[in-house]
């Protein structure tokens, strides 16, 4: 009874067990027969199918082989990301009450609608960022500021002249002619200034169509390929690849993508795919050993491991990079940990701790709220050449390797972001969760680290 109660207290994994049960029934396999074929008890499989026990990598792979289905189809990685985004969408409009406790059911029963909602939410957030960028541009763009000043000055001059004409009916003919001439001149100037400002705004609007920022477009390009770019593996030109990808819908996005693609191609040349895959297996994915073998920096090995194509022999691998401000520059979400599309990540990630000790590699086993465990390896490194006349600029890169054996005890509890994290006792929390569980709603205080 104690074990069952403990299982009920575990975070609900709403889809993995349900999908196992669904595919078993579709194939007409009895629960006892399936359990026997993979070497577990029927009662334990029953708990898995009813989402009351987590399932490790070895058991999951065994089930996928018997059910003749890809293991990734049974996992909850993609759905976890959708659930996280739906939770964030719920937070964006606090005036509308939603059933937060039924989000898992929505994703399970109506995956198409769930994907549609998250896509629309993503688009709304992108538009909000675009509007914010345009507002900043209106405020700080010197061209717009000058043209707006011209328009307002001209309008004031026309109004002043017109007021004199209306308020002084006994003006002589010569003065009236002068004032009419002034109004005509200022009106022409107003038309020219307005047309020039409209032309400038039109150029800005054409430049700002598409995604919120060029970086988001680059994110989408990598996500759409699973972070494995076969063209660059074969030696394609980064500029040509950037020019032909529709998601890179602006000159700025294509320019930024070329830089990322050039880094990818350089990594591929230094660590050829077939040779690196074999070495990674032999080294048990040890980045330090691989860095020494190929004579490359540790962060390059992080990137290369994250770019490997999905394989049944490889664990799920994620990657995230930030600059010294903590802004996310690269993001590849592993199954079980949805990295945020917008805003900041979890302050407890080793990614940010690495920034305080540049050049010192960190390794921690982190655990999500759902119990997924990852080996997180992070390093802060210079983002460009070191110079004597200016301070170095650092980036931090973190590799996340999913663990089949989730039995580590000395783990670091982490989340996706504070907005969708329900851990009640967290000194790193900077805002209350939108999920309304426990005491996390009241962590915005004026003292200590709880800010």
Strand 317-323 and strand 328-332: the pairing is: antiparallel
**Are residues 96 and 149 both part of a single domain?**
no
Question: Do 145 and 166 belong together in one domain?
Answer: yes
Pair 151, 131 in one domain: no
Task: Give the other-Cβ count within 10 Å of 239's Cβ.
Answer: 14
> Per-residue pLDDT for the chain (451 aa), expressed as one digit of tens each?
333 333 333 334 456 777 788 788 888 899 999 999 988 998 888 888 887 777 766 788 888 888 887 666 676 545 666 777 787 777 666 667 777 777 777 776 787 888 788 878 877 876 776 666 666 556 556 666 777 788 888 898 898 888 888 888 788 888 888 888 989 898 888 888 888 777 666 655 544 444 557 887 888 888 888 899 999 999 999 999 999 998 888 888 899 999 999 999 999 999 999 999 999 999 999 999 999 999 999 999 999 999 998 877 788 899 999 999 888 888 898 877 878 766 678 999 999 999 999 999 999 999 988 788 999 999 999 988 888 988 889 999 999 998 877 677 889 999 888 877 878 788 888 888 766 544 333 333 333 333 3
Domain annotation covers residue 38: yes
Could you tell me if 13 and 46 lie in one domain? yes
- Domain termination site, one of 135, 150, 170: 135
Residues 186, 146 within the same domain: yes
User: Do 36 and 61 belong together in one domain?
Assistant: yes
Domain assignment present for 443: no
Domain span holding position 35? 2-75
pLDDT for 7: 36
Q: Which of 180, 207, 234 is the last residue of a domain?
A: 207
Residue 129 lies in a domain: yes
The CATH number of the domain holding residue 28 is 1.10.260.40
What's residue 79's pLDDT? 62
Residues 156 and 202 in one domain: yes
Same domain, 57 and 108: no
**Taking the model in full, what pTM does it have?**
0.60
So what's the pLDDT on residue 80? 65
Residue 321 lies in a domain: no
Residue 39 sits in the same domain as residue 13: yes
Does residue 53 form part of some domain?
yes
* pLDDT attached to residue 4: 34
Residues 185 and 151 in one domain: yes
Q: Please check whether residue 194 lies inside any domain of the structure.
A: yes
Report if residue 112 sits inside a domain: yes
Residue 448 falls inside a structural domain: no
Q: Select from 58, 75, 92 the last residue of a domain.
A: 75
Cβ neighbour number for residue 17 with a 10 Å cutoff: 23
- The total number of structural domains in the chain stands at 3
């Amino acid at each position: 009874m104690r074990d069952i109660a403990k299982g009920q207290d575990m975070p609900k994994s709403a889809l993995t067990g349900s999908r196992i049960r669904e595919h078993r029934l579709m194939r007409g396999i009895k629960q006892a027969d399936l359990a026997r074929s993979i070497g577990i008890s029927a009662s334990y499989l029953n708990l898995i199918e009813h989402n009351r026990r987590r399932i490790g990598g070895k058991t999951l792979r065994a089930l996928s082989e018997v059910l003749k289905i890809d293991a990734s189809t049974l996992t909850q990685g993609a759905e976890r990301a959708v659930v996280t985004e739906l939770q964030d969408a719920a937070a964006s409009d606090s005036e509308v009450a939603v059933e937060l406790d039924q989000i898992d059911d929505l994703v399970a029963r109506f995956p198409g609608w769930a994907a549609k909602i998250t896509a629309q939410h993503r688009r709304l957030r992108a538009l909000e960022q675009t509007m914010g960028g345009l507002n900043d541009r209106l405020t700080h763009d010197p061209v717009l500021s000058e043209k707006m000043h011209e328009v307002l000055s001209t309008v004031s001059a026309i109004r002043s002249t017109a007021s004199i004409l209306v308020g002084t009916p006994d003006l002589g003919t010569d003065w009236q002619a002068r004032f009419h001439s002034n109004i005509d001149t200022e009106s022409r100037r107003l038309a020219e200034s307005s047309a020039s400002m409209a032309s400038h705004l039109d150029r800005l609007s054409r430049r700002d169509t598409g995604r919120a920022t060029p970086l988001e477009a680059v994110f989408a390009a990598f996500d759409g390929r699973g972070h494995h770019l076969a063209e660059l593996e074969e030696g394609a030109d980064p500029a040509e690849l950037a020019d032909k990808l529709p998601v890179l819908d602006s000159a700025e996005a294509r320019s930024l993508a070329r830089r990322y693609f050039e880094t990818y191609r350089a990594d591929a040349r230094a660590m050829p795919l077939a040779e690196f895959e074999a070495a990674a297996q032999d080294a048990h994915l040890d980045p330090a050993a691989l860095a020494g073998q190929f004579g490359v920096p540790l962060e390059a090995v992080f990137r290369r491991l994250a770019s490997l194509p999905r394989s049944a022999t490889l664990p799920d691998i994620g990657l995230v990079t930030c600059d010294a401000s903590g802004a996310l520059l690269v993001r590849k979400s592993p199954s079980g940990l949805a990295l945020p599309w917008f805003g900041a990540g979890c302050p407890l990630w080793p990614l940010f701790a690495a920034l305080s000790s540049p050049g010192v590699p960190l390794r921690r086993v982190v655990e999500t709220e759902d119990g997924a465990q990852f080996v997180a390896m992070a390093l802060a490194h210079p983002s460009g050449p070191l110079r004597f006349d200016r301070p170095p600029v650092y980036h931090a890169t973190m590799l996340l390797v999913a663990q089949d054996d989730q039995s580590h005890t000395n783990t670091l509890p982490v989340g996706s972001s504070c907005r969708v994290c329900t851990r009640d006792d967290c000194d790193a929390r900077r805002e209350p969760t939108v999920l309304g569980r426990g005491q996390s709603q009241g962590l915005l205080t004026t003292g200590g680290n709880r800010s």
